Amino acid sequence: MAFNRKDSYYKQAKREGKRSRAIYKIEEIDQRFRILKRGQKILELGAAPGGWMEYIAQRVGTSGTVLGLDLLTISKLQSPPCRTLVADILAPDTGTRIDNLVSPPFDGVVSDLAPNLTGIKATDQANSIAMLETATRLGLERLRNGGFLICKVFQGSELKQFQLQMKNHFQKITLAKPKASRKTSSEIYLVATAYTGNTSLQ
C-alpha cells in the first residue's frame, strides 16, 4: 500500500532539524517506559542516520555512552557520549569490533535494524529472521543483568517465537507500536526489561 513519505512526523523532523522521523518512535517509547537515564551505556544496532542516537545522547548526557553501529557511515554526532562503528552485524568479527571500541556490559541495547528488501517474500522473511537472531545474540552477550532491550520486529510468524525466546531472558516483555510508526508498516517494537542474564538462546 502506498504511504505518504512526507507525513506529519517527517515534516516535524525537518522543522526541528532532526536526522530522521524515527526519533519520535524512541522518544515515545522512552516517555512511556521511562527507560533511558543519565550516565547509561547504550548500544544501538542499525543506527544510521542517527536520529535515535541524537535522542539517546541527550537523555544519557555526556557522562553516558551511545555506540551506534550501521553498514552506513553516521555523520558526526556529539562526542561524548556518541561513538559510531561502520560494520555489518552479520560479519563474524563485529562483536570483537564493538568490544574494542566500548567495553561491555551495556545498560541497554536498542535495535531499529531493517534488512534491505529483495521483494522476494521468502528471502526477505529469512533475512529478517537471521538479522533478528544475530542482533539479539550480539546484544544479549553484552547486556548487564537488569538491563533492557528495545528491538524492532516485524509482525508475522517470527514474532511469537521471538517473544517466547525473550521471555526466557527478561522479567518483563511488552510490545509497543509508537504513533510515529506508520500504520501501513508491520513493524512493532519489543520492549524487554530486567534482563536475567540467561544468554543460552535457543
Active site residue 152: yes
- Does 47 help bind ligand SAM (rule: CB under 6 A)? yes
- Does 150 help bind ligand SAM (rule: CB under 6 A)? no
Query: What b/e readout covers 155-166, taking b as 16+ CB neighbours within 10 angstroms?
Result: eeebbeebeeeb
Q: Which amino acid is at 131?
A: M
Beta-strand pair 82-86/170-176: unpaired
- Does 71 help bind ligand SAM (rule: CB under 6 A)? yes
| Cell 540467561 belongs to residue | 198
Q: How far is it, in rounded angstroms, from Cα 21 to Cα 7?
A: 9
| Cell 544479549 belongs to residue | 140
Closest CB to ligand SAM among residues 76, 200: 76
Provide the phi-psi class of 17: left if phi over 0, else alpha when psi is between -120 and 50, else beta: left
What's the closest the beta carbon of residue 19 comes to ligand SAM, in angstroms?
6
Q: Which stretch binds ligand SAM (CB under 6 A): 8-16, 27-35, 64-72, 153-161?
A: 64-72
Q: How far is it, in rounded angstroms, from Cα 121 to Cα 81?
A: 39
What's the closest the beta carbon of residue 145 comes to ligand SAM, in angstroms?
26
What's the closest the beta carbon of residue 23 comes to ligand SAM, in angstroms?
6
Q: Which of 14, 25, 152, 167 is the catalytic position?
A: 152
Closest CB to ligand SAM among residues 20, 65: 20
Q: Which member of 9, 51, 143, 166 binds ligand SAM (CB under 6 A)?
A: 51
Q: How far is it, in rounded angstroms, from Cα 172 to Cα 136?
A: 16
Closest CB to ligand SAM among residues 68, 198: 68
Triad 76, 178, 114: Cα angle to 5°: 55
Q: Which member of 20, 40, 84, 128 binds ligand SAM (CB under 6 A)?
A: 20
Kindly state the helix (H) or strand (E) to which residue 27 belongs, with its residue range: helix 23-33
Q: Which stretch binds ligand SAM (CB under 6 A): 41-49, 117-125, 167-175, 178-186?
A: 41-49
Residues annotated as part of the active site: 152
**Contact residues for ligand SAM (CB under 6 A)?**
19-20, 22-23, 46-52, 70-72, 88-90, 112-115
